[in-house]
């Protein structure tokens, strides 16, 4: 699944599954399903076009249509899933006596017949809504949206960084000296070799600014120079002509790519050149442009900026670091001084430190937040700090920051946009564990298996792509492995706003009345504060993530389509112990995370009814053993039993789909090692 198309991709697969002989649908129902499949395939293609256009550039009617179709896809997937679960639920491992077995079989046949009748009625209802949506698709000319997006031409605010006076720049001296040294290192033949230097770092750190500073400092030492920004959707012809314009003083619009490359190679031959390719996003574009930049042993230099994939192809990589606290204060104070306001000597140190912490040493963030405070009474600074974001402030610097971050976001393919927006479930400054995030992506259906590659491996690739594109910041363990990550506050603000606009993730905290849940189509729910949900129906919620210490949950039986249940707050009330008794009714559940919850003494035996469960994450300190029914979870791929008192059972070998196992204790006399040998899919053991 990706956000642009809702559940459409997986829904089409499931509709195809329904049309097989195995499900024996009535003729009329089968025809309706075939009709839905045809119409939805057309809508799927239209939604993907819509997803490639930034949301703020879409016509309002197109946005309303896309929202409606995505909602329809979720509703339909829920209907189909309920049908498939009720028809396919596995028989118990221990078979009853023959008479009871026969009676049970007859009961199952009656139940399946009733289930087929119910899906028949629901499909007829949904068919009417799909037909109306298809008519509106034609009426609103949705299929033309990607060809003629509304207001697609925008000014890149990063151009402003190219023309700043170096006297205004803070904290670049050390970086400028290091980069200058890296550019000139080498004696004799070594110094004459072509050197490619890539400046890599988190968005907003000032890669463009530092690259321009190096360029201005060194360009007098070269025969010819060019500084060319690339952007998100590069035209190789335009890029080559941009270099030619700066070197030769003219463009060659009548030449094709091959001719432009030959022309540029001819001009650069036997010349010592300095070329900066700023903001190069795509490795294929870089490989093609690099063929035009000849290696002539004249001491030429090339600088690139942006993402790690391009950086790793360079001779040397310079990772730009955030500003120190002192430099952050310097830049912050300078921005306020530029506005000619009196420095607030009586500003509480705590508020000042919190503001700088919010910036994280990112120059763009520091300038933006300082700009928010310009013209506001000091008494309101605390309030401004708590409400910093992108939604309400009419401020040019805020708008520029938003555009810069959105450039990175809209460059992502649809599946990575969904994975990134899902990270908004975590509270600000939260350190989240890499593997558990990936398993949540798997459970949510964001990742589809490919031949020869497992779901987790694909998810790990997605994670690495987001790190490489500087959208999330990795945290390393002592052994140099990435164990978790954080999201910069400004990126967190952005994805929370986008997730809210898309009605993707609903975040409940002290600033939002949770009673609104009753009136909204909430499917992904995150709880960040003490909230009482005991009497609120949630039949459409697919994901519940709780980061509060003591949330009051309703009975789990009210969650009819829940796929992810992650209770990670750390404390567990008596009320929630009771509500776990209905855990076995969450038949759609794929991910169950109880983290380091205290207060859980035992798991209900009904956990064995969760036939589709893929991840079971248990860090409960007072939990001592797993119920025998856990052995029935044949689709379980990840079992983490790292609570300090949990003893691993002897029957672990029955979980033949396990790929990851985290063990806390094993009895010396147990048969654990022999059982471990049965887990032929296991790839990670801790």
Q: Is the pLDDT of residue 68 over 80?
A: yes
Q: Is the pLDDT of residue 325 over 80?
A: yes
Contact 554, 541 (CB under 8 A): no
Which residue, of 392, 426, 443, is where some domain finishes? 392
**Looking at the 3D structure of the chain, how many domains does it have?**
5
* Average pLDDT of the segment spanning 164-193: 76
* Three-state DSSP class for residue 311: helix
DSSP secondary structure, 180-222, as one string: HHHHH---THHHHS-EEEEEE--TTS-HHHHHHHHHHHHGGGS
Q: Is the pLDDT of residue 70 over 90?
A: no
Q: Is 282 found in the same domain as 176?
A: yes
- Tell me what pLDDT residue 579 has: 63
Which residue, of 319, 350, 369, is where some domain finishes? 319
Sheet of 482-486, strands arranged across: 432-433, 482-486, 473-476
Q: Is the pLDDT of residue 296 over 80?
A: yes
DSSP secondary structure, 23-43, as one string: G---HHHHHHHHHHHHHHHHH
Query: Which H helix or E strand runs over 325?
Result: helix 325-338
Residues 24-35 have pLDDT tens digits of: 777 788 888 888
673 or 97, which is more confident: 673
- pLDDT averaged over the chain? 78
Domain membership flag for residue 405: no
pTM of the model: 0.75
Q: Is 677 found in the same domain as 529?
A: yes
* Average pLDDT of the segment spanning 461-466: 89
Range in 192-196, 387-391, 582-586, 675-679 with the lowest mean pLDDT: 387-391
Which residue, of 489, 515, 538, is where some domain finishes? 489
Q: Is 434 found in the same domain as 385?
A: no
Residues 481-494 have pLDDT tens digits of: 777 888 877 788 88
- Of the candidates 126, 148, 128, 166, the one whose C-alpha atom is nearest the C-alpha of residue 62 is 148
599 or 428, which is more confident: 428
Q: Which domain holds residue 190?
A: 157-319
CATH number reported for the structural domain that contains residue 194 in this entry: 3.40.50.300
Range in 146-155, 312-321, 342-351, 640-649 with the lowest mean pLDDT: 146-155
Residue 520: band (very low, low, confident or very high) from pLDDT cuts 50, 70, 90 = low
Domain membership flag for residue 496: no
User: Which residues face 200 on adjacent strands?
Assistant: 306, 319
| CA–CA dist 590, 356 (Å, integer) | 40
Domain membership flag for residue 352: yes
Alpha carbon separation from 40 to 8, 11, 74 (Å, rounded): 7, 9, 12
Alpha carbon separation from 285 to 107, 292, 309, 612 (Å, rounded): 63, 12, 12, 43
* Average pLDDT of the segment spanning 503-515: 67
Alpha carbon separation from 61 to 46, 113, 145, 160 (Å, rounded): 14, 41, 11, 34
Return the structure tokens found at 303. Answer: 């600088």
CATH number reported for the structural domain that contains residue 478 in this entry: 1.10.10
Range in 329-338, 507-516, 519-528, 550-559 with the lowest mean pLDDT: 507-516
Q: Is 597 found in the same domain as 629?
A: yes
Residue 156: band (very low, low, confident or very high) from pLDDT cuts 50, 70, 90 = low
Q: Is the pLDDT of residue 322 over 80?
A: yes
Q: Is the pLDDT of residue 375 over 80?
A: no
- Tell me what pLDDT residue 529 has: 67
Query: Which H helix or E strand runs over 579?
Result: helix 574-579
Range in 216-220, 506-510, 595-599 with the lowest mean pLDDT: 595-599
Return the structure tokens found at 375. Answer: 């013209």
Domain membership flag for residue 497: no
Q: Is the pLDDT of residue 577 over 60?
A: no
Domain membership flag for residue 541: yes
* Average pLDDT of the segment spanning 566-576: 62
Alpha carbon separation from 526 to 107, 406, 472, 552 (Å, rounded): 39, 23, 19, 14
Q: Is the pLDDT of residue 214 over 80?
A: yes
Q: Is 364 found in the same domain as 259?
A: no
| CA–CA dist 309, 2 (Å, integer) | 23
Residue 390: band (very low, low, confident or very high) from pLDDT cuts 50, 70, 90 = very low
Q: Is 162 found in the same domain as 67?
A: no
| CA–CA dist 381, 370 (Å, integer) | 10
- Tell me what pLDDT residue 184 has: 80
- Of the candidates 17, 138, 143, the one whose C-alpha atom is nearest the C-alpha of residue 77 is 17
Max mean pLDDT among 105-119, 634-648, 662-676 falls in 634-648
Q: Tell me what percent of the chain is helix, strand and coil, each rounded to the nearest 5.
A: 50, 15, 35
Domain membership flag for residue 397: no
The two most distant CA atoms of the chain are separated, in Å, by 94
Domain membership flag for residue 151: no
67 or 379, which is more confident: 67
| CA–CA dist 93, 14 (Å, integer) | 27
Q: Is 132 found in the same domain as 43?
A: yes
Domain membership flag for residue 296: yes
Q: Is 302 found in the same domain as 165?
A: yes
Residue ranges with strand state E in 153-311: 195-200, 224-229, 273-280, 301-306
- Percent of the residues in the chain that have a pLDDT greater than 70, as a whole number: 77
| CA–CA dist 540, 562 (Å, integer) | 8
Q: Is 163 found in the same domain as 130?
A: no
Residues 104-123 have pLDDT tens digits of: 443 444 445 566 677 778 88
Q: Is 648 found in the same domain as 627?
A: yes
Q: Is 380 found in the same domain as 313?
A: no
Residues 603-626 have pLDDT tens digits of: 888 999 999 999 999 877 777 788
- Percent of the residues in the chain that have a pLDDT greater than 90, as a whole number: 17
Q: Is 329 found in the same domain as 312?
A: no
Residue 578: band (very low, low, confident or very high) from pLDDT cuts 50, 70, 90 = low
């Amino acid at each position: 699944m990706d956000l642009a198309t809702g559940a459409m991709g997986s829904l089409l697969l499931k509709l195809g599954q329904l049309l097989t002989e195995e499900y024996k649908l009535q003729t009329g129902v089968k025809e309706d399903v075939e009709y839905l499949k045809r119409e939805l395939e057309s809508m799927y293609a239209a939604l993907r076009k819509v997803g490639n256009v930034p949301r703020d550039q879409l016509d309002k009617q197109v946005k309303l249509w896309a929202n409606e179709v995505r909602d329809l896809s979720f509703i339909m997937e829920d209907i189909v899933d309920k049908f498939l679960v009720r028809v396919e639920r596995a028989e118990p491992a221990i078979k009853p006596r023959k008479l009871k077995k026969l009676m049970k079989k007859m009961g199952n046949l009656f139940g399946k017949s009733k289930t087929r009748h119910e899906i028949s009625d629901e499909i007829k209802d949904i068919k009417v809504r799909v037909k109306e949506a298809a008519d509106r698709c034609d009426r609103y000319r949705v299929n033309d949206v990607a060809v003629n997006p509304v207001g697609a031409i925008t000014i890149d605010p990063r151009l402003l960084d190219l023309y700043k006076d170096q006297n205004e720049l803070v904290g670049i001296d050390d970086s400028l000296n290091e980069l200058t040294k890296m550019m000139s290192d080498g004696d004799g033949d070594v110094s004459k070799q072509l050197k490619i230097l890539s400046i890599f770092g988190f968005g907003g750190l000032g890669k463009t600014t530092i690259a321009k500073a190096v360029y201005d400092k060194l360009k007098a030492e070269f025969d010819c120079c060019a500084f060319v920004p690339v952007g998100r959707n590069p035209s190789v012809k335009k890029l080559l002509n941009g270099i030619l314009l700066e070197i030769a003083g003219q463009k060659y619009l009548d030449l094709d790519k091959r001719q432009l490359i030959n022309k540029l190679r001819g001009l650069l031959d036997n010349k010592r050149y300095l070329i900066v390719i700023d903001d190069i996003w795509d490795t294929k574009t870089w490989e093609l442009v690099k063929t035009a930049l000849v290696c002539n042993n004249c001491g030429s230099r090339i600088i690139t900026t942006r993402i790690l994939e391009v950086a790793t192809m360079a001779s040397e990589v310079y990772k730009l670091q955030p500003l120190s606290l002192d430099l952050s204060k310097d830049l912050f104070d300078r921005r306020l001084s530029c506005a000619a306001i009196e420095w607030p000597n009586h500003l509480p140190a705590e508020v000042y430190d919190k503001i700088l912490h919010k910036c994280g040493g990112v120059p763009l963030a520091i300038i933006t937040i300082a700009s928010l405070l310009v013209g506001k009474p000091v008494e309101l600074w605390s309030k401004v700090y708590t409400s910093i974001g992108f939604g309400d402030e009419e401020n040019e610097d805020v708008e520029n920051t938003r555009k810069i971050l959105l450039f990175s976001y809209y460059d992502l393919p649809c599946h990575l946009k969904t994975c990134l927006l899902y990270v908004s479930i975590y509270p600000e400054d939260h350190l989240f564990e890499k593997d558990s995030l990936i398993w949540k992506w798997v459970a949510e259906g964001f990742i589809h298996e490919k031949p020869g590659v497992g779901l987790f491996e694909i998810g790990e690739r997605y994670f690495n792509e987001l790190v490489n594109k500087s959208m999330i910041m990795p945290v390393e363990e002592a052994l140099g492995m990435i164990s978790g990550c954080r999201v910069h506050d400004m990126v967190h603000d952005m994805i929370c706003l986008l997730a809210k606009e898309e009605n993707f993730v609903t975040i409940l905290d002290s600033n939002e009345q949770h009673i609104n849940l009753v009136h909204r189509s909430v499917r992904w729910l995150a709880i960040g504060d003490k909230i009482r949900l005991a009497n609120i129906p949630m039949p459409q919620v697919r994901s519940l993530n709780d980061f509060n210490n003591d949330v009051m949950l309703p009975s789990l039986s009210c969650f009819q389509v829940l796929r992810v249940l992650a209770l990670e707050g750390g404390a567990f009330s008596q009320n929630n112990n009771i509500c776990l008794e209905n855990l076995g009714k969450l038949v759609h559940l794929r991910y169950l995370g109880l983290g380091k919850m205290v207060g859980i003494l035992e798991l209900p035996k009904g956990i064995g009814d969760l036939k589709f469960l893929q991840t079971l994450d248990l860090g409960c300190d007072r939990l001592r053993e797993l119920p025998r029914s856990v052995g029935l979870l044949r689709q379980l791929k990840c079992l983490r039993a790292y609570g300090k008192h949990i003893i691993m059972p002897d029957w672990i070998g029955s979980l033949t789909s396990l790929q990851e196992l985290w063990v806390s204790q094993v009895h010396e006399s147990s048969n654990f090692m022999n059982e471990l040998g049965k887990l032929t899919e296991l790839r990670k053991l801790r």
